[in-house]
Amino acid sequence: MEHFIDAAPGIRLWAEERGAADAPPLLLIMGAQASGMGWPDELVDALAVHHRVIRYDHRDTGRSSRPFERQPYAIADLARDAVAVLDGLGIERAHIAGLSLGGLLAQLLIADHPGRLLSATLMGTCALSTAPYTRPDGTLVPATELPGIAPEVLEMWARPVEDRGLEAELDRRVEHWRVLSGGHIPFDAEYFRALERRIVEHTGHHTAGTAHGRADDSGLLRTEELAANRVPTLVVSAPAEPVFPPPHPQHLAQAVRGARVVEIPGMGHALPREVLAPLAAAIIGHTTGRAAA
């Protein structure tokens, strides 16, 4: 079932839900410049066995409003949009799962709107905290000294994006996913090309967006709030992660009070077919209170 939700003046968000209407709601929060259709159908359907699953398009993605050029906004506004989606669907409390920027937004929800959450799952992100990381041997590492983004990713992000037509844009997006996948799992270019083609069809055009990269990212630290967290939180550790590699997940789990870590073998900063079943099992194990498979 599809919806359009008025999140703020001039901001209308596209959302879709799958699963039983009376099942516990699970809101999926995608990454920067990524449509909600970036959550693969296979994963959404697996989660919908147990949940009323909601995925949505951030503003300036997919079928949602594109206000940035006339109405610039902050990253924190994207977190408020997630709450607006819950409000628009009449959901008082929900499980949430966020990937990349979505994991950052999920931390803002943990910190600022804990009463709206049943649980949180964080993937492919770093802690919104200045707390140091404690190594297994007890030594401390300042948060600012944790490993940075892989050079190959930074080089890819630095390239100018030019409109050379649909197929060339699909080529660029597939190469982007190859770099983000991390190389532990054989890369299936056709799988990601089909995923991106569905996103283009959903969006109605292939123009690449840049709004989220230009949005105000100030005021995001939540060190004290995360340290006082009471929302059941799962952190997914991806061993092939090239953006926030280990020990970022372990640091995140230390920064968010009570969080635990589960590793998905071979996972990077993408959602290839091979990680979908174990990821769904981990999320469902967390949301239902059962140990992850």
DSSP letter (8 states) at residue 216: B
Which sign does the torsion angle of CA 122, 53, 76, 240 carry? positive
- Find tokens 């989606």 and name the residue: 85
Instruction: Indicate the domain borders of the chain.
Output: 2-287
Place 280 in a pLDDT band, splitting at 50, 70 and 90. Answer: very high
According to CATH, the topology of domain 2-287 is Rossmann fold (3.40.50)
CA dist 2 → 5, 10, 20 (Å): 10, 19, 14
Residue 292 has pLDDT above 70, yes or no: no
Q: Is 148 helix (H, G, I), strand (E, B) or coil?
A: coil
DSSP letter (8 states) at residue 37: G
pLDDT digits 0-9 by tens, 129-153:
999 999 999 999 999 999 999 999 9
pLDDT digits 0-9 by tens, 189-211:
999 999 999 999 999 999 999 99
Per-residue pLDDT, 293: 37
Per-residue pLDDT, 157: 94
Rounded CA gap, 197 and 106, in Å?
A: 27
Cα three-residue angle 245-112-145, rounded to 5 degrees? 25
Q: What is the pTM of this model?
A: 0.96
Residue 46 has pLDDT above 80, yes or no: yes
Provide the percentage of residues in the chain whose pLDDT is more than 70.
Answer: 99
Q: Around 126, how many Cα atoms within 13 Å sit in the side-chain half-sphere?
A: 20
pLDDT digits 0-9 by tens, 13-24:
999 999 999 999
Rounded CA gap, 123 and 196, in Å?
A: 20
